[in-house]
Amino acid sequence: MIFCNMVVGVAELAGLGKTGKLFSRTFGLYMLTTFIASIEGLIFVSIFQGLFTDAVPKATKGDLEVALKCPGGGFVSLSTDTEGMLCEAGNNGDPFSNQTFDMMDLNSVLVTNRLEGRTISETIASIFESLVPENIFNACVTPDILSVITFAIFFGCMIAKIDLKGERNYVMLFMDQLNVLLMDMVKYVIGFAPGGIFFMIAGAIANSDDFVDLLKNVGVLVMTVVLGLLFHVGFSLCSIFFCLTRRNPFQWLQKNTNQIFFAFSSASSAATLPITLDSIAATGEVPTSVRRFVCSLGATINMDGSGIYFPCAVVFMAYMSGNSAAITSGALTTLAIVSTLG
C-alpha cells in the first residue's frame, strides 16, 4: 500500500517537476521533528524515571545438565574406582548424581536468543545500506521500509518519463487502481483492530510473573509517553506549524482529529495512512499529489512517536528486568540518536 501510494505520488509530482524540491523540504522537516521528539522523550523519561519500580532480578539458571542413556538400559556413569566410564542402572529410571554431566555449548549451537553487539557507526551504516535494496521483492516481504521507499521514488520518477506517444500511461493507471484497492482492504481490516488490541494486551498481562509491579510500571510508562506526545503535538509541532504558515495550528488539528486518535490507539502509521489521506483530502487545502507523497513518506520515516516512546520503553524494560543500573546518560543519548535515524 505504501509502495503504490508513494509511486503514484512521485509520478504525479515528477510530471510537474516538483519532486526534488518537495522531497528535500519534507525530509528535512521530518528529521527535525523526529530529533525534537527524541530529545523530549529523554527529558520526560528522566523526569519520571524515579517512579519506576526496580524488579528483583530473576535467579540465573545453572549449567545445562545431561544424562546419557545406555543401549541396554541405565545411564553412563563416572566410576570412582577405575576412573573410567561404564553403564549402570539408575534410581528407578532417573540418573544418580554421578550419572549427570554439565554440558558446555562450545560453538554456541544451542544459543537461540543471542544478539550481536553493534556500535553506533555500524548501526548508522546499516541504515544507509538499507536504502539500496538487493532484492526489492524480499524488501517488500521483510519488510525493509527504507528500501521500499527508495525504490518507489525511483520507480515513480521513471514512470513519469515514459514516452507515451499520445497513449495513456497504463502503468500509472494500474498503480493508481491497485493503490485504491489496497486502501479499501486496509480500511476493512481496521474494523477488527480494537478486538485484536484487546486480546494482545490481555495476553501480555496474563503471562506476567509480577502483575502488581507490571501494572505500576506500565502506568508510569503510559503516563510518561502520553505527556510527551501531548507536549510534542501541542507545543513543538504547533509552534513549527505557526512559524511556517502563520495560521492557527489548533484549527488545523480540529480538522484532523480522526487520524490522530486512530494513530494513538493503533500505534501504526501505515495502518493510519488511509484515514490520514481521507481526512486531509476533506480539508480541500492540499493537492492530491502532494498529499500522497508527503503522507506516504511520513508514514515510514517520520517517527516522532517512536522518538518519544523508545527511551521510555527502554527504561521500563530495564526496571522490569532488574537492570536499572544500565540506564546511563550515555545509553540514553545513544538511544536518542538511533531513534532519530530510525
Q: Is the CA virtual torsion 151, 157, 163, 168 positive or negative?
A: positive
* 313 against 207, higher pLDDT: 313
Query: To which H or E segment does residue 144 belong?
Result: none
Task: Return the pLDDT at 119.
Answer: 63
* 81 against 88, higher pLDDT: 88
pLDDT (average), residues 29-38:
89
Task: Return the pLDDT at 130.
Answer: 72
Task: Return the pLDDT at 115.
Answer: 47
> Is residue 116 very low, low, confident or very high in pLDDT (cuts 50, 70, 90)?
low
pLDDT (average), residues 61-88:
72
> Is residue 56 very low, low, confident or very high in pLDDT (cuts 50, 70, 90)?
low
Highest mean pLDDT among 71-75, 159-163, 250-254 belongs to: 250-254
Pick from 338, 24, 275: which is nearest to 153 by CA? 24
State yes or no: pLDDT of 11 exceeds 50. yes
Which three cell numbers mark 41? 522523550
State residue 333 phi and psi, 5-degree precision: -65, -45
What percentage of residues in the chain have a pLDDT greater than 70?
Answer: 80
State yes or no: pLDDT of 228 exceeds 60. yes
Which three cell numbers mark 171? 502503468
> Is residue 204 very low, low, confident or very high in pLDDT (cuts 50, 70, 90)?
low
Task: Return the pLDDT at 59.
Answer: 47
pTM, two decimals, is 0.64
Task: Return the pLDDT at 7.
Answer: 80
pLDDT in tens, 272-308: 888 888 888 888 888 888 888 888 888 877 888 888 8
Question: What is the rounded distance in angstroms from the CA atom of residue 192 to the CA atom of residue 200?
Answer: 13
Residue-wise DSSP of 59-70:
PPP--EEE-PBP
What are the DSSP E strand ranges found in the chain? 64-66, 75-78, 85-88, 101-103
State yes or no: pLDDT of 21 exceeds 50. yes
Pick from 313, 301, 298: which is nearest to 259 by CA? 298
* 105 against 136, higher pLDDT: 136
Which three cell numbers mark 326? 544500565
